[in-house]
Structure 1
Amino acid sequence: MNWFKWDLNLKIRLIGDSLFNMLFWMYFPFITLFFSDAFGKSIASMLMAVPPLISLLGSLFGGYLSDRWGRRPAMLLGAFLQTFMFAAFALSSSHWLEYIAYIGLGLGGAIYTPGSSAMVADVTPEKDRRMVFATFVTGRNIGAVFGPALGSVFFFQYRNELLWTCTIVTLLYFVAILAWIRETLPPSAKMNRSGSKLPAILKEQVQSYGVIFRDKVFALYICAGILVTIAFMQLDMYLAFYVKEYVPAQTLLAFRGWTFNLSSEQVFGWMLGLNGLLFVLCVMPVTKLFEKWPERNVLIMSSLLFGAGMLMIGLTTHVWLLFVFTVIFTIGELSRSPVTDSFVSKYAPVHARGQYMGAANLQFFVGRFIAPVTIFLSSWFSPLVVFGFIFLVTVLSSILYVQVFRIIPADLYRQQEEKDISLES
């Protein structure tokens, strides 16, 4: 689908999301260090466990809000909350207020995201969704690659200027949503609205998500996602530990007596840089390559390829082999990203698409919560055993994906979508 043929909603949001994500990655990697200096490592480690839980609740609420009142109100609320919290962070003279502002930033993003993803599905033909989601993934990862490098300067030396820039950008994005983004909530969703009193709203939300989590197919899908997220999170957890502890400093390049050497920490930095660069450069080509593949095959291949790449890393400490295996697991990781949103958008009933998008985020929150188990295992077992565990969870994930698509064949959720569209007309 040519970018010039995109709906105006998508064009505005791609630009806004990419700009904001660049700013996000200029402060996010350093926030734990910031609060560690402010509160001490022990307190900071406990404090950092709270924002993901708040964001999980925000994601569920954002999904409910986007289905009940519209994608646009949920996105406006999320963008406004982020604007307000950035300003509070910039004006604050208290570390506790800064911590509350940081929680609020995560909450605003969590409320915004399900409606934003649902809107992509609302305005994009089913056959084009993978490529559109892949374009959004590319925009996000441009920020993830360049943001930390810029943030290492601006966050520590010009923090207030950075925070005010974030405030202005999110405010302008809020205005753009208000002025130019149109509502895309399907008519079938509007018919499901109930009373507006708080007890009725809370009861309706609990009932709605109760139905979703009792959906056997979706529950299996979330469990598979939790397992593979545990593996994906090792890029920032056990992989960092392994490279630092077991990979020696070594020569990367040598020519006529000239050598270019990397320390253990630099080897890990290059692996992360390669991972990020591949995400930016290869999400679109890889998505195009697998465009005709069913979601089933892509999800299974992604899990196994990532797990195999990580397992092979545990077999070597040679820097060039580490780079090769990084390419392997990165292809597995990036091939999955556009497909997950595409699958949920097709599987979910149109009237509950936002809530399904919000509920799908549960796999990431739970996976991140469980992921540190590898650090615990590393104190008892060898690296090969730990990498074997990482490979095992990806194999189990692929088995669950097989079961998901055994219960619901590929053509079945297309029939579900056609049924919902007929209801709208």
Structure 2
Amino acid sequence: MIRLRSAAESTFGGLPGAFWWLWIGTLVNRIGGFVLPFFAFYVTGPLHRSAALAGAVAALFGAGAAVSGVVGGVLADRIGRKPTLVGSQLANAVTIVVLGYARSPWALALGALVVGLATNAFRPAQNAMIADMVPAGDRVRAYALNFWAINLGFSFSMMAVGLVTHFGYRALFYADAATTTLCALLIAAMVHDTTPPETLRAARSRQTVGEGTRSHDGLGAVLRDRTFIAFVATTFLLLTVFNQCQTGLPIAMAASGLSASSFGQIAAINGVLIVLFQMPVTRLLKRYPEGRVLAGAGLVIGAGFGLLTFGQSAAMYVLCVVVMTMGEIGNTPTGQAVSARLSQDHLRGRYQGVYQLAWTLSQVVAPLVGGAVISAYGGTPLWIGCFAVTALTALVFLRIGKQVERRVAVARSAEVEQAQQAQTSTQVVADGQQPELATA
């Protein structure tokens, strides 16, 4: 009992109340996340459109999401985390409803692009807000809890989608918009804006001075951070491998004679495992350096796909998903925490926006790579290539991890030095005032 209480306290204790309202908002939003996971099925099924159109629409959504992630990061620094988060959620709710009325190919394509432009702008603001309110030592745990909420809500939405469709497919769009709006209202009412005042002052200063300063101390400064850009590029490669679970894996499973329902059941294992093991594994990995965790998690993801070179039965696909999910559990919250650790405080939103590019661009590139390799060479070369790429990313993550540790050490030394200088200045002032008090 004592051990259970200690585990619960180390998992859920010590985080600010505002974080938990943000967590509840995330959970509510994901519970109603019906549209995007089923949109390709909706296009090819009830709308009777081609698979090619469904793929093109998905690519346009990904393109919009890539742009909105960067724009959302800039807005999170310029106008604040909370306004960006709430505004993007409300815009997402409106565009989702409008998309529900699209029927022609052009309307579907434009609608998906606009939804992509709205839906991803909140992510850098949310990640920056978590980094603002949670101390550095607890950020991996906070991001893990947020990732847990996403998957908990996703699992519920996948179970509830059949019930919602009894009211017609358009009900999916309205239910999605309703939960997104409720999330925005919860954050608007219960979460204060965490944007540091110096961030907003820096934004106003850049606007006053002009474009030249903006490029020097805005998005340009993020793009010149070589360690961070190397981290984003390496994450992109790893996520391109990981996203084969949404492209290469279903194609290979269909070629192996497995049904769509079998794919759905096997894919559902991912969400169940994350809900069950995310927090215990996060507590276990906390004792290891972040670079090693990212390297090891990447190798585990690659090993999951690599297992398919030994056979492609239903049992092997289940084993692949189990192993790959354990790697995902280690990678996602740790990667978000490293991104926050590398960020300059007054540019945190921009850093998170650029980090989102690794996710959104990999969702565009992964299906192109997976489909092309399987079509030309079959599944086995793809799985071998997946493991080879993750081995490369592991080596880079180890090097980046050392650079992150050095940057943290330098930052801590600077903080200690500033504190000592402030203490010395205070002591000098106090010593200077003492004679005057004595004279008085």
TM range (shorter): 0.7 to 0.9
Q: What letter corresponds to residue 385 of structure 1 in structure 2?
A: P
Counterpart of 2:253? 243
Q: Alpha carbons of 1:32 and 1:422: their partners in 2 closer, same or farther (altered >3 Å)?
A: farther
Q: Among 28, 38, 42, which residue is 2:36 paired with?
A: 28
Counterpart of 2:140? 130
Residues 32-80 of structure 1, C-alpha deviation per residue, up to 9 Å, x if partnerless?
A: 2333436543344323322211211111111111112211111121122
- Tell me which structure has the larger Cα radius of gyration: 2
Q: Among 27, 30, 33, which residue is 1:18 paired with?
A: 27
C-alpha distance in 1 between matches for 2:71 and 2:212: 10
C-alpha distance in 2 between matches for 1:137 and 1:282: 12
**Unaligned runs of at least 5 residues, structure 2:** 1-9, 423-440
Q: What letter corresponds to residue 355 of structure 2 in structure 1?
A: A
Counterpart of 1:350? 345
Q: Alpha carbons of 1:422 and 1:356: their partners in 2 closer, same or farther (altered >3 Å)?
A: farther
Q: Alpha carbons of 1:171 and 1:378: their partners in 2 closer, same or farther (altered >3 Å)?
A: closer
Q: Among 273, 277, 301, which residue is 2:272 paired with?
A: 277
Is this contact kept in 2: 1:278–1:330, CA < 8 A? yes
Deviation at 1:308, TM superposition (A): 1.3
3-state DSSP of counterpart to 1:317:
coil
Q: Among 357, 376, 380, which residue is 2:376 paired with?
A: 380
Deviation at 1:194, TM superposition (A): 3.1
C-alpha distance in 2 between matches for 1:151 and 1:95: 24
Is this contact kept in 2: 1:350–1:420, CA < 8 A? no
Residues 195-245 of structure 1, C-alpha deviation per residue, up to 9 Å, x if partnerless?
A: 697995798369622221222111211121111111101111111122221
C-alpha distance in 2 between matches for 1:206 and 1:53: 27
Q: Among 145, 150, 156, which residue is 1:146 paired with?
A: 156
3-state DSSP of counterpart to 1:380:
helix
Deviation at 1:154, TM superposition (A): 2.3
Q: Alpha carbons of 1:87 and 1:339: their partners in 2 closer, same or farther (altered >3 Å)?
A: same
3-state DSSP of counterpart to 2:277:
helix
Is this contact kept in 2: 1:38–1:95, CA < 8 A? no
Q: Alpha carbons of 1:409 and 1:77: their partners in 2 closer, same or farther (altered >3 Å)?
A: closer
C-alpha distance in 1 between matches for 2:312 and 2:12: 43
Tell which deviates more after alignment, 130-139 or 408-417.
408-417
C-alpha distance in 1 between matches for 2:158 and 2:109: 20
- For residues 301-340 of structure 1, the aligned pairs below 5 Å read 301-340=296-335
Q: Among 78, 85, 92, which residue is 1:75 paired with?
A: 85
Tell which deviates more after alignment, 164-173 or 194-203.
194-203
3-state DSSP of counterpart to 1:292:
coil
C-alpha distance in 2 between matches for 1:290 and 1:277: 20
**RMSD across aligned positions (CA):** 3.0
Q: Alpha carbons of 1:270 and 1:328: their partners in 2 closer, same or farther (altered >3 Å)?
A: same
Deviation at 1:423, TM superposition (A): 8.3
Q: Among 377, 395, 399, which residue is 1:399 paired with?
A: 395
Is this contact kept in 2: 1:130–1:338, CA < 8 A? yes
Residues 64-114 of structure 1, C-alpha deviation per residue, up to 9 Å, x if partnerless?
A: 111122111111211221232234345678775565444333322211111
Residues 122-177 of structure 1, C-alpha deviation per residue, up to 9 Å, x if partnerless?
A: 11111111111111111101122232332245247433333333333333332322
Q: What letter corresponds to residue 163 of structure 1 in structure 2?
A: F
- For residues 22-61 of structure 1, the aligned pairs below 5 Å read 22-24=31-33, 26-36=34-44, 37=47, 39-61=49-71
3-state DSSP of counterpart to 1:276:
helix
In the comparison of the two structures, how many residue pairs are matched? 408
Is this contact kept in 1: 2:31–2:179, CA < 8 A? no
Q: Alpha carbons of 1:338 and 1:317: their partners in 2 closer, same or farther (altered >3 Å)?
A: same
Q: Among 365, 370, 381, which residue is 1:370 paired with?
A: 365
TM-score of the two chains, using structure 1 as the length reference: 0.86
C-alpha distance in 1 between matches for 2:276 and 2:212: 43
Counterpart of 1:251? none
C-alpha distance in 1 between matches for 2:338 and 2:388: 24
Q: What letter corresponds to residue 405 of structure 2 in structure 1?
A: A
Q: What letter corresponds to residue 253 of structure 2 in structure 1?
A: V
C-alpha distance in 1 between matches for 2:292 and 2:100: 47
Is this contact kept in 1: 2:29–2:182, CA < 8 A? no
- For residues 289-304 of structure 1, the aligned pairs below 5 Å read 289-304=284-299
Is this contact kept in 1: 2:290–2:401, CA < 8 A? no
Q: What letter corresponds to residue 180 of structure 1 in structure 2?
A: M
Q: What letter corresponds to residue 386 of structure 1 in structure 2?
A: L
Is this contact kept in 2: 1:88–1:98, CA < 8 A? no
C-alpha distance in 2 between matches for 1:200 and 1:267: 57
TM-score of the two chains, using structure 2 as the length reference: 0.83
C-alpha distance in 2 between matches for 1:54 and 1:161: 24
| Percent of residue pairs bearing the same amino acid type | 21
Is this contact kept in 1: 2:128–2:348, CA < 8 A? yes
- For residues 255-266 of structure 1, the aligned pairs below 5 Å read 263-266=258-261
C-alpha distance in 2 between matches for 1:279 and 1:352: 31
Is this contact kept in 2: 1:27–1:151, CA < 8 A? no
Counterpart of 1:7? 16
Is this contact kept in 1: 2:236–2:358, CA < 8 A? yes
